[in-house]
């Protein structure tokens, strides 16, 4: 997927909405990751438990009509 980086968070929530949450990794635009769990829906976002380069955490699928991740064909 081309585009911006997507954060990997410890909990399935935006960092601003959960002060105990923290970013533990970053998936670059075009990065390929494995989905290992989810989805969990919080604050109108579907969160997927992903593994990328040895880091496992939650990343958001998108917001509104914008998608931040997409499946490989």
Is residue 3 over pLDDT 80?
Answer: no
Question: Does 42 map to a domain?
Answer: yes
Number of domain units in the chain = 1
Domain that holds residue 46: 6-62
Question: Does 69 map to a domain?
Answer: no
Give pLDDT tens digits for 6-63: 899 999 888 888 878 999 999 999 999 999 999 999 888 999 999 999 999 999 998 8
Q: How far is CA 6 from the centre of its chain?
A: 6
Question: Does 72 map to a domain?
Answer: no
How far is Cα 27 from Cα 45, in angstroms, rounded to an integer? Answer: 17
Question: Does 44 map to a domain?
Answer: yes
Is residue 65 over pLDDT 70?
Answer: yes
Question: Does 67 map to a domain?
Answer: no
Question: Does 70 map to a domain?
Answer: no
Is residue 1 over pLDDT 60?
Answer: no
How far is Cα 48 from Cα 34, in angstroms, rounded to an integer? Answer: 10
Question: Does 35 map to a domain?
Answer: yes
């Amino acid at each position: 997927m081309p585009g911006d980086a997507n954060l990997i968070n410890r909990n399935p929530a935006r960092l601003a909405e959960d002060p105990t949450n923290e970013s533990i990794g970053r998936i670059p635009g075009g990065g390929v990751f494995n989905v290992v769990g989810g989805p969990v829906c919080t604050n109108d976002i579907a969160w997927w438990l992903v593994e990328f380069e040895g880091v496992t955490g939650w990343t958001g699928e998108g917001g509104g009509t914008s998608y931040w991740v997409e499946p490989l064909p």
